[in-house]
């Protein structure tokens, strides 16, 4: 399934629900979290509906590699200080026990001066 009509992230990726975009191309969307934990907090999602990290396979490696390679530049663009004094946190909650709230693969990119509200 490329899109789930009931998935909030699919609706955001298709432009049906507005978001404050950080980055977009044909495969990937990054947008600000609506309940940020830190001064920098955005989500990075594949536009294709993938339930969770537990559902990726070898064929998804190029997409995941592209997503990971975007993180440092987007974190810096959004205000994270450079490594090593600065940096960011990358979080991928997977499944109920992992704290996943939206059943669409997504990475939280979190950074900025500490302390943060969570974590």
Q: Which residues participate in catalysis according to the annotation?
A: 106
**Residue 45 main-chain phi, psi, to 5 deg:** -130, 150
**Residue 79 main-chain phi, psi, to 5 deg:** 120, 0
């Amino acid at each position: 399934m490329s899109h789930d009509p009931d998935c909030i992230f699919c609706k955001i990726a298709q432009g049906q629900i507005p978001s404050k975009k950080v980055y977009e191309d044909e495969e990937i969307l990054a947008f600000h979290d609506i309940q940020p934990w830190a001064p920098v907090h955005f989500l990075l999602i594949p536009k294709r509906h993938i339930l969770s990290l537990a559902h990726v396979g070898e064929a998804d490696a190029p997409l995941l590699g592209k997503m990971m390679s975007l993180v440092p530049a987007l974190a810096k663009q959004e205000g994270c200080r450079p490594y090593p004094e600065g940096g960011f946190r990358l979080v991928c909650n997977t499944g109920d026990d992992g704290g996943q709230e939206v059943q669409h693969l997504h990475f939280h990119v979190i950074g900025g001066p500490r302390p943060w509200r969570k974590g």
